[in-house]
Amino acid sequence: MTTTNATTIPPATPSSGRTRGGVARGLLPPAVTGQEWVLIGVLAILWVVLSLTTPAFASSGSIQPLLSAVAPIALMGVGMTMIIITGGIDISVAGVLMVTGVTSAKMLVDHDASLLVAVLVSVALGGLLGLVNGLLIAYGRVHAIIITFGTANLFQFVGRQIFASKTVNGIPSTLDVFGRGEAGRTLGVPHSFVLMAVVVAIAWWYLRHVQHGRHLFAIGGDPVAARLAGVNVERRVLMTYVLTGLLVGMAAVFIVASGTSTLDQSIGSGRELAVIAAVVIGGTSITGGRGSVLGTVFGALLVQTVASGVTQLGWPSELSDLFVGVAIAIAVGADLIRKWARERA
Protein backbone atom coordinates (compact mmCIF):
# COMPACT_ATOMS: atom_id res chain seq x y z
CA MET A 1 0.00 0.00 0.00
CA THR A 2 1.40 3.35 -0.86
CA THR A 3 0.63 6.16 1.47
CA THR A 4 1.69 9.69 1.93
CA ASN A 5 4.81 9.51 3.94
CA ALA A 6 4.31 12.77 5.74
CA THR A 7 4.65 12.92 9.47
CA THR A 8 2.13 15.66 9.85
CA ILE A 9 -0.77 16.84 7.81
CA PRO A 10 0.53 18.04 4.48
CA PRO A 11 0.45 21.79 4.01
CA ALA A 12 -2.42 23.18 2.06
CA THR A 13 -1.96 24.29 -1.46
CA PRO A 14 -1.99 28.05 -1.34
CA SER A 15 -5.34 29.44 -2.30
CA SER A 16 -5.28 31.69 -5.27
CA GLY A 17 -7.29 34.84 -5.23
CA ARG A 18 -8.16 34.51 -8.86
CA THR A 19 -10.32 31.45 -8.65
CA ARG A 20 -11.58 31.95 -5.14
CA GLY A 21 -15.02 33.24 -5.86
CA GLY A 22 -15.77 30.73 -8.56
CA VAL A 23 -14.50 27.66 -6.80
CA ALA A 24 -15.79 28.59 -3.37
CA ARG A 25 -19.29 28.25 -4.68
CA GLY A 26 -19.04 24.49 -4.79
CA LEU A 27 -17.51 24.15 -1.37
CA LEU A 28 -20.59 24.89 0.69
CA PRO A 29 -24.14 23.62 0.63
CA PRO A 30 -26.25 25.43 -1.97
CA ALA A 31 -26.70 29.14 -1.37
CA VAL A 32 -30.45 28.88 -1.69
CA THR A 33 -31.99 25.93 0.09
CA GLY A 34 -35.00 23.85 -0.86
CA GLN A 35 -37.29 25.64 1.52
CA GLU A 36 -36.22 29.00 0.10
CA TRP A 37 -36.93 27.86 -3.46
CA VAL A 38 -40.37 26.76 -2.32
CA LEU A 39 -40.92 30.18 -0.72
CA ILE A 40 -39.75 31.92 -3.87
CA GLY A 41 -42.13 29.77 -5.85
CA VAL A 42 -45.04 30.47 -3.54
CA LEU A 43 -44.27 34.20 -3.62
CA ALA A 44 -44.09 34.17 -7.42
CA ILE A 45 -47.41 32.35 -7.70
CA LEU A 46 -49.03 34.71 -5.18
CA TRP A 47 -47.78 37.76 -7.05
CA VAL A 48 -48.95 36.47 -10.41
CA VAL A 49 -52.36 35.47 -9.08
CA LEU A 50 -52.82 38.72 -7.18
CA SER A 51 -51.71 40.80 -10.16
CA LEU A 52 -54.22 39.04 -12.39
CA THR A 53 -57.15 39.15 -9.96
CA THR A 54 -56.58 42.61 -8.52
CA PRO A 55 -55.04 45.09 -10.92
CA ALA A 56 -54.17 47.37 -8.03
CA PHE A 57 -51.74 44.84 -6.56
CA ALA A 58 -49.07 45.22 -9.17
CA SER A 59 -49.13 49.01 -8.97
CA SER A 60 -46.33 50.93 -7.34
CA GLY A 61 -48.87 52.30 -4.87
CA SER A 62 -49.24 48.78 -3.57
CA ILE A 63 -45.74 47.39 -3.95
CA GLN A 64 -43.97 50.31 -2.27
CA PRO A 65 -45.89 50.13 1.02
CA LEU A 66 -45.35 46.37 0.95
CA LEU A 67 -41.59 46.83 0.73
CA SER A 68 -41.68 49.52 3.42
CA ALA A 69 -43.58 47.20 5.71
CA VAL A 70 -41.22 44.29 5.05
CA ALA A 71 -38.10 46.32 5.84
CA PRO A 72 -38.35 46.59 9.65
CA ILE A 73 -39.63 43.03 10.12
CA ALA A 74 -36.89 41.55 7.94
CA LEU A 75 -34.28 43.75 9.60
CA MET A 76 -35.23 42.51 13.06
CA GLY A 77 -35.56 39.06 11.54
CA VAL A 78 -31.86 39.08 10.63
CA GLY A 79 -30.94 39.32 14.30
CA MET A 80 -33.65 36.92 15.37
CA THR A 81 -32.45 34.40 12.78
CA MET A 82 -28.96 34.45 14.28
CA ILE A 83 -30.36 34.11 17.79
CA ILE A 84 -32.54 31.17 16.80
CA ILE A 85 -29.64 29.54 14.93
CA THR A 86 -27.76 29.48 18.24
CA GLY A 87 -30.76 27.81 19.86
CA GLY A 88 -32.08 30.92 21.61
CA ILE A 89 -35.06 33.21 21.18
CA ASP A 90 -35.89 36.84 21.95
CA ILE A 91 -39.41 37.70 23.12
CA SER A 92 -38.36 41.20 24.21
CA VAL A 93 -38.15 42.63 20.68
CA ALA A 94 -41.41 44.54 21.13
CA GLY A 95 -40.10 46.14 24.31
CA VAL A 96 -36.83 47.18 22.67
CA LEU A 97 -38.77 48.56 19.75
CA MET A 98 -40.89 50.62 22.10
CA VAL A 99 -37.95 52.09 24.01
CA THR A 100 -35.89 52.92 20.96
CA GLY A 101 -38.88 54.17 18.98
CA VAL A 102 -40.16 56.53 21.63
CA THR A 103 -36.68 57.75 22.48
CA SER A 104 -35.83 58.68 18.93
CA ALA A 105 -39.27 60.29 18.48
CA LYS A 106 -38.79 62.34 21.63
CA MET A 107 -35.30 63.33 20.55
CA LEU A 108 -36.78 64.67 17.34
CA VAL A 109 -39.65 66.50 19.02
CA ASP A 110 -38.03 67.80 22.18
CA HIS A 111 -34.43 68.26 21.17
CA ASP A 112 -34.81 68.85 17.49
CA ALA A 113 -32.29 66.11 16.86
CA SER A 114 -30.76 65.61 13.45
CA LEU A 115 -31.36 62.45 11.44
CA LEU A 116 -27.93 61.12 12.28
CA VAL A 117 -28.29 61.71 16.01
CA ALA A 118 -31.76 60.15 16.12
CA VAL A 119 -30.57 57.05 14.27
CA LEU A 120 -27.42 56.72 16.36
CA VAL A 121 -29.29 57.10 19.64
CA SER A 122 -31.93 54.58 18.61
CA VAL A 123 -29.41 52.02 17.40
CA ALA A 124 -27.09 52.48 20.38
CA LEU A 125 -29.94 52.21 22.84
CA GLY A 126 -31.16 49.06 21.11
CA GLY A 127 -27.66 47.61 21.38
CA LEU A 128 -27.57 48.42 25.08
CA LEU A 129 -30.86 46.63 25.74
CA GLY A 130 -29.63 43.72 23.65
CA LEU A 131 -26.55 43.66 25.84
CA VAL A 132 -28.76 43.29 28.92
CA ASN A 133 -30.47 40.28 27.34
CA GLY A 134 -27.21 38.83 26.13
CA LEU A 135 -25.43 39.10 29.46
CA LEU A 136 -28.30 37.50 31.35
CA ILE A 137 -28.67 34.68 28.82
CA ALA A 138 -25.02 33.94 28.08
CA TYR A 139 -23.71 34.20 31.62
CA GLY A 140 -26.84 33.71 33.76
CA ARG A 141 -27.40 30.37 32.03
CA VAL A 142 -31.16 30.67 32.15
CA HIS A 143 -33.24 29.70 29.15
CA ALA A 144 -33.54 32.62 26.75
CA ILE A 145 -37.31 32.46 26.61
CA ILE A 146 -37.68 33.13 30.33
CA ILE A 147 -35.09 35.89 30.49
CA THR A 148 -36.60 37.69 27.53
CA PHE A 149 -40.10 37.32 28.94
CA GLY A 150 -38.75 39.16 31.96
CA THR A 151 -36.85 41.82 30.06
CA ALA A 152 -39.87 42.29 27.78
CA ASN A 153 -41.71 43.55 30.85
CA LEU A 154 -38.76 45.68 31.96
CA PHE A 155 -38.31 47.29 28.55
CA GLN A 156 -42.01 48.01 28.26
CA PHE A 157 -41.83 49.72 31.62
CA VAL A 158 -38.94 51.84 30.44
CA GLY A 159 -40.73 52.61 27.19
CA ARG A 160 -43.92 53.70 28.91
CA GLN A 161 -41.98 55.80 31.37
CA ILE A 162 -40.50 57.68 28.46
CA PHE A 163 -43.92 57.93 26.83
CA ALA A 164 -45.13 59.30 30.21
CA SER A 165 -48.58 57.90 29.50
CA LYS A 166 -49.02 60.05 26.47
CA THR A 167 -48.53 59.83 22.76
CA VAL A 168 -45.61 61.63 21.18
CA ASN A 169 -47.09 64.28 18.90
CA GLY A 170 -45.73 66.50 16.18
CA ILE A 171 -42.88 64.30 15.05
CA PRO A 172 -41.01 66.36 12.45
CA SER A 173 -40.18 65.06 9.01
CA THR A 174 -36.50 64.55 9.82
CA LEU A 175 -36.73 60.81 9.29
CA ASP A 176 -38.58 61.05 5.99
CA VAL A 177 -35.60 59.63 4.17
CA PHE A 178 -36.66 56.29 5.64
CA GLY A 179 -40.37 56.98 5.36
CA ARG A 180 -43.16 55.98 3.02
CA GLY A 181 -43.27 59.26 1.18
CA GLU A 182 -41.52 60.44 -1.98
CA ALA A 183 -38.47 61.47 0.07
CA GLY A 184 -38.09 57.90 1.24
CA ARG A 185 -37.61 56.42 -2.20
CA THR A 186 -35.00 56.42 -4.92
CA LEU A 187 -36.07 55.16 -8.32
CA GLY A 188 -39.25 53.99 -6.63
CA VAL A 189 -37.50 51.72 -4.12
CA PRO A 190 -37.92 52.62 -0.43
CA HIS A 191 -34.60 53.46 1.22
CA SER A 192 -35.55 51.38 4.23
CA PHE A 193 -35.84 48.35 1.99
CA VAL A 194 -32.48 49.06 0.39
CA LEU A 195 -30.81 49.43 3.77
CA MET A 196 -32.45 46.22 4.93
CA ALA A 197 -31.22 44.46 1.80
CA VAL A 198 -27.67 45.65 2.47
CA VAL A 199 -27.83 44.40 6.06
CA VAL A 200 -29.23 41.08 4.88
CA ALA A 201 -26.43 40.75 2.35
CA ILE A 202 -23.80 41.40 5.00
CA ALA A 203 -25.46 39.01 7.43
CA TRP A 204 -25.75 36.39 4.72
CA TRP A 205 -22.05 36.73 4.02
CA TYR A 206 -21.26 36.65 7.73
CA LEU A 207 -23.26 33.49 8.36
CA ARG A 208 -21.84 31.80 5.30
CA HIS A 209 -18.23 32.84 5.10
CA VAL A 210 -17.04 34.35 8.36
CA GLN A 211 -15.56 32.13 11.02
CA HIS A 212 -17.67 33.55 13.84
CA GLY A 213 -20.79 33.30 11.76
CA ARG A 214 -20.20 29.62 11.11
CA HIS A 215 -19.68 29.11 14.81
CA LEU A 216 -23.28 30.17 15.46
CA PHE A 217 -24.45 27.03 13.65
CA ALA A 218 -22.10 24.89 15.72
CA ILE A 219 -23.43 26.43 18.94
CA GLY A 220 -27.01 25.72 17.94
CA GLY A 221 -26.11 22.19 16.88
CA ASP A 222 -24.27 21.16 20.04
CA PRO A 223 -23.08 23.85 22.46
CA VAL A 224 -20.94 21.46 24.49
CA ALA A 225 -19.09 20.13 21.47
CA ALA A 226 -18.74 23.68 20.18
CA ARG A 227 -17.10 24.78 23.41
CA LEU A 228 -14.80 21.79 23.25
CA ALA A 229 -13.81 22.76 19.73
CA GLY A 230 -12.62 26.11 21.06
CA VAL A 231 -15.66 28.21 20.17
CA ASN A 232 -16.25 31.04 22.63
CA VAL A 233 -19.91 30.15 23.10
CA GLU A 234 -20.77 32.86 25.64
CA ARG A 235 -19.30 35.66 23.57
CA ARG A 236 -20.96 34.52 20.35
CA VAL A 237 -24.35 34.20 22.05
CA LEU A 238 -23.93 37.58 23.68
CA MET A 239 -23.13 39.14 20.32
CA THR A 240 -26.28 37.79 18.66
CA TYR A 241 -28.45 39.53 21.25
CA VAL A 242 -26.50 42.77 21.01
CA LEU A 243 -26.74 42.66 17.24
CA THR A 244 -30.47 42.05 17.40
CA GLY A 245 -30.79 45.04 19.71
CA LEU A 246 -28.91 47.23 17.24
CA LEU A 247 -31.09 46.09 14.37
CA VAL A 248 -34.29 46.60 16.35
CA GLY A 249 -33.07 50.13 17.06
CA MET A 250 -32.74 50.69 13.32
CA ALA A 251 -36.12 49.08 12.66
CA ALA A 252 -37.65 51.46 15.20
CA VAL A 253 -36.41 54.37 13.09
CA PHE A 254 -38.11 52.86 10.03
CA ILE A 255 -41.35 52.41 11.90
CA VAL A 256 -41.35 55.94 13.34
CA ALA A 257 -40.43 57.30 9.91
CA SER A 258 -43.20 55.49 8.10
CA GLY A 259 -45.86 56.34 10.66
CA THR A 260 -47.82 59.54 11.11
CA SER A 261 -46.55 62.48 13.11
CA THR A 262 -48.00 60.80 16.21
CA LEU A 263 -46.43 57.83 17.95
CA ASP A 264 -48.46 55.81 20.42
CA GLN A 265 -47.60 53.03 22.82
CA SER A 266 -48.69 50.25 20.50
CA ILE A 267 -45.50 50.65 18.46
CA GLY A 268 -44.11 47.28 19.45
CA SER A 269 -47.14 45.19 20.23
CA GLY A 270 -47.20 41.80 18.57
CA ARG A 271 -44.07 42.45 16.54
CA GLU A 272 -41.97 39.94 18.44
CA LEU A 273 -44.25 37.18 17.23
CA ALA A 274 -44.38 38.63 13.71
CA VAL A 275 -40.59 38.53 13.55
CA ILE A 276 -40.43 34.98 14.88
CA ALA A 277 -43.10 34.00 12.35
CA ALA A 278 -41.03 35.40 9.48
CA VAL A 279 -37.93 33.56 10.70
CA VAL A 280 -39.77 30.28 11.11
CA ILE A 281 -41.54 30.48 7.75
CA GLY A 282 -38.11 31.15 6.25
CA GLY A 283 -36.96 27.71 7.27
CA THR A 284 -34.82 28.46 10.32
CA SER A 285 -35.10 25.63 12.80
CA ILE A 286 -36.46 26.72 16.19
CA THR A 287 -34.26 24.09 17.85
CA GLY A 288 -31.13 25.74 16.49
CA GLY A 289 -28.27 24.77 14.21
CA ARG A 290 -29.91 25.59 10.90
CA GLY A 291 -31.28 28.68 9.22
CA SER A 292 -30.71 31.49 6.78
CA VAL A 293 -31.39 35.21 6.69
CA LEU A 294 -32.43 34.92 3.09
CA GLY A 295 -35.28 32.65 4.13
CA THR A 296 -36.29 35.17 6.76
CA VAL A 297 -36.59 37.91 4.15
CA PHE A 298 -38.78 35.65 2.03
CA GLY A 299 -40.79 34.80 5.12
CA ALA A 300 -41.36 38.48 5.85
CA LEU A 301 -42.23 39.11 2.21
CA LEU A 302 -44.73 36.27 2.26
CA VAL A 303 -46.43 37.58 5.38
CA GLN A 304 -46.71 41.09 3.97
CA THR A 305 -47.80 39.85 0.55
CA VAL A 306 -50.61 37.91 2.18
CA ALA A 307 -51.61 40.96 4.21
CA SER A 308 -51.50 43.16 1.15
CA GLY A 309 -53.31 40.62 -0.98
CA VAL A 310 -56.09 40.18 1.53
CA THR A 311 -56.66 43.93 1.57
CA GLN A 312 -56.54 44.22 -2.20
CA LEU A 313 -59.06 41.44 -2.58
CA GLY A 314 -61.40 43.35 -0.31
CA TRP A 315 -61.35 40.63 2.33
CA PRO A 316 -61.33 41.63 6.00
CA SER A 317 -57.72 42.54 6.81
CA GLU A 318 -57.88 40.43 9.97
CA LEU A 319 -58.02 37.36 7.75
CA SER A 320 -54.36 37.69 6.83
CA ASP A 321 -53.26 36.41 10.25
CA LEU A 322 -55.14 33.20 9.58
CA PHE A 323 -53.01 32.67 6.49
CA VAL A 324 -49.88 33.52 8.47
CA GLY A 325 -50.78 30.81 10.97
CA VAL A 326 -51.40 28.32 8.20
CA ALA A 327 -48.14 29.33 6.49
CA ILE A 328 -46.18 28.68 9.69
CA ALA A 329 -47.80 25.29 10.10
CA ILE A 330 -47.13 24.32 6.49
CA ALA A 331 -43.56 25.61 6.44
CA VAL A 332 -42.58 23.78 9.60
CA GLY A 333 -44.72 20.76 8.79
CA ALA A 334 -43.00 20.34 5.42
CA ASP A 335 -39.66 20.47 7.18
CA LEU A 336 -40.76 17.84 9.70
CA ILE A 337 -41.98 15.57 6.91
CA ARG A 338 -38.64 15.94 5.11
CA LYS A 339 -36.90 14.97 8.33
CA TRP A 340 -39.08 11.89 8.77
CA ALA A 341 -38.43 10.88 5.19
CA ARG A 342 -34.69 11.22 5.75
CA GLU A 343 -34.82 9.17 8.93
CA ARG A 344 -36.87 6.45 7.29
CA ALA A 345 -34.49 6.24 4.36
Partner 1 sequence: MSIPDSVPTTPDPVDLPDSGTARLHLQGISKRYGGVRAIKKADITVRPGTVHAIVGENGAGKSTLIKIISGAESADTGEIFFEGAPITLSSAIDAMAFGIQTVYQEPQLFAELTVSENIFIGREITSGTRVDWLAQNAKVIELLTMLGLPASYATKTVGSLSIAQQQQVSIAKALAGNAKILILDEPSAILTDSEIDVLFNIVRRLTKTGVSVIYISHRLDELFKLCQEVTVMRDGETLGTWPIQDLSIRRVIELMVGEALVEARTERTFPEGDPRLALEGLTLEGQFHDVNVSVRPGEVVGLYGLVGSGVAEIAEAVYGMRRPTGGRILLDGTVVEPRSPRAAQSLGIGMLPADRKAQGMFSFQPIAFNISIGHLSLLSKARTWIDRRQESIVARQMISRLSIKTPSERQPVAAMSGGNAQKVVLARETVERPPVLILAEPTHGVDVGAKDEIHRIVGELAHEGTAVLVVTSDVAEAIRICDRLYVIRAGTTTVEFGPDAKQADVLAAASGDDSDLSAHVREVS
Partner 2 sequence: MTMTPHKAHVANLPRAEEPSLVSRVVKAVLTQRIVLLAALLVIVLIWMSALGMGGYLTGSYDPDYLAGSLIDAVPMCMLALAELVVIVSGRGGIDLSIGAIVSLTGMIFGFAYGRWGWTFWLSVLLAVVVGGLLGAINGALVAYMRFPALIATLASYYAFKSLALVITNSIPISDANVTKLYGITRSIEIPVIGSQLPNVPIGVFTFMVPSVVVIWLVLARTTYGRRLFAIGTNDVAAEWTGLNVRSTRFVAYVIAGVIAGLASVYITGQFASARPDAGTSGNGLALPAITIAVLGGVAITGGIGRVAGVVLATLLVTWLDAGILLAFTGNDGTQFQLLALGLVLIFAALLNGLTQRRYGGSR
Among 54, 135, 131, 77, which residue's Cα sits nearest to residue 254?
A: 77
User: What's the chain's length in residues?
Assistant: 345
Smallest separation, CB 302 to partner 1 (Å): 23
Letter for the amino acid at 310?
Answer: V
345 near partner 1, judged by CB under 8 A: no
Cα distance between the two ends of the chain: 35
CA separation for the pair 167, 105 (Å, rounded): 10
Contact yes or no for 91/145 (Cβ under 8 A): yes
89 near partner 2, judged by CB under 8 A: yes
Query: Which of positions 111-130 make contact with partner 2 (CB under 8 A)?
Result: none
Nearer to partner 2 (CB atom), residue 41 or residue 325: 325
Nearer to partner 1 (CB atom), residue 12 or residue 187: 12
57 binds, options partner 2, partner 1, none, Cβ within 5 to 8 A by partner type: none
Contact yes or no for 125/249 (Cβ under 8 A): yes
Smallest separation, CB 233 to partner 1 (Å): 11
CA separation for the pair 342, 117 (Å, rounded): 52
The count of chain residues that interact with partner 2, using the rule CB under 8 A, is 47
152 binds, options partner 1, partner 2, none, Cβ within 5 to 8 A by partner type: partner 2
**Which position among 8, 116, 166, 187 is part of the footprint of partner 1 (CB under 8 A)?**
8
Nearer to partner 2 (CB atom), residue 64 or residue 148: 148
Contact yes or no for 283/37 (Cβ under 8 A): no
238 near partner 2, judged by CB under 8 A: no
CA separation for the pair 116, 121 (Å, rounded): 8
141 near partner 2, judged by CB under 8 A: yes
**Which position among 66, 76, 231, 242 is part of the footprint of partner 1 (CB under 8 A)?**
231
What radius of gyration, in Å, describes the C-alpha atoms of the chain?
22
**Which position among 44, 52, 142, 313 is part of the footprint of partner 2 (CB under 8 A)?**
142
> Angle between the 60-85 and 211-221 helix axes, to the nearest 10 degrees?
70
CA separation for the pair 207, 292 (Å, rounded): 8
Contact yes or no for 245/130 (Cβ under 8 A): yes
Number of C-beta neighbours around residue 264 at 10 A:
13
User: CB burial class (10 A; 0-12, 13-18, 19+) of residue 9?
Assistant: exposed
Segment lying near partner 1 (by CB under 8 A), choices 96-104, 189-197, 206-214, 257-265: 206-214
Letter for the amino acid at 18?
Answer: R
**Which position among 201, 229, 286, 313 is part of the footprint of partner 1 (CB under 8 A)?**
229
The count of chain residues that interact with partner 1, using the rule CB under 8 A, is 41
**Which position among 43, 63, 150, 222 is part of the footprint of partner 1 (CB under 8 A)?**
222
**Which position among 64, 86, 103, 151 is part of the footprint of partner 2 (CB under 8 A)?**
151
Contact residues toward partner 1 (CB under 8 A) are: 1, 3-16, 19-20, 23-24, 26-29, 209-212, 214-215, 217-218, 221-222, 225-226, 228-231, 289-290
Q: Which residues bind partner 2 (CB under 8 A)?
A: 89, 91, 94, 136, 140-143, 145-147, 149-157, 160-161, 165, 266, 269-270, 273, 276-277, 280, 286-287, 316, 318-326, 328-329, 332-333, 336
